[in-house]
Amino acid sequence: MPPSDRPAIAVLPFVNMSGDPEQEYFSDGISEDMITALSKLRWFFVIARNSSFIYKGKSVHMKQVAEELGVGYVVEGSVRKSGDRVRITVQLNDAATGSHIWAEHYDRHLVDVFAVQDEITEAIVAAIEPQLYASESFRAQRKPPDNMDAWDLVMRRRHCWRRRSPLTRITARRWEYWLPAIRSASIWVGPTGQPQYR
């Protein structure tokens, strides 16, 4: 199960819709590159390839994926190749509701397969990250904090982050002391030090 202090996401294997099994490598490559790229963003937890690829070739409901992998978000997509052109469609879904948070398609000429994979992966990750952050912020606004001391500490940390000043020794000690309380209060601190709660 993913750690509870970070939102979790799974990238399902992209579906090869080219009608040619030989093109499977390309759709798998896009999925694997996305898992790798998203894993570099440390503020959320990305399910490993071996876990998410168990759904390859299967039609599964979003809620099933959420329960089995313990994720709040699922990325899925498809790849269609025709001659030297490729279309990649991708969706970011809220696993609890099954609703789309974001969707886009990308059309490219295949001059260099790896260059195209890299370019599309970068574009998708650049689009997904702010959508995830916005979604987490929206979730956070719906529930008040359980522990006001922990909330106060998170607000102090946010203040230090915004001022780009190091935490004082007292605040740092309190932060270490209150970390279990913060986790139990389901307070989540985003990549910019923004305190939120779920």
The answer as to whether 2 is a domain residue is no
CATH of residue 106's domain is 3.40.50.10610
What is the pLDDT at residue 150? 61
What angle, rounded to 10 degrees, do the helices at 169-184 and 148-162 form?
130
Rounded CA-CA distance 167/185 in Å is 22
Averages of pLDDT over runs of 10 residues in the chain (198 residues) are: 71 92 89 90 88 92 91 93 90 88 89 84 83 70 57 63 57 58 56 49
The answer as to whether 3 is a domain residue is no
Check whether residue 68 and residue 108 sit in a common domain. yes
Check whether residue 18 and residue 35 sit in a common domain. yes
CA dihedral 78, 59, 96, 52 (to 10 degrees): -70
Show the domain range for 123.
8-140
The answer as to whether 12 is a domain residue is yes
Check whether residue 128 and residue 174 sit in a common domain. no
Rounded CA-CA distance 72/136 in Å is 10
Check whether residue 179 and residue 132 sit in a common domain. no
Check whether residue 102 and residue 125 sit in a common domain. yes
Domain boundary among 92, 117, 140: 140
The answer as to whether 1 is a domain residue is no
Number of domains in the chain: 2
What is the pLDDT at residue 20? 85
Check whether residue 28 and residue 120 sit in a common domain. yes
- Locate 147 and state its tokens: 């522990």
pTM equals 0.67
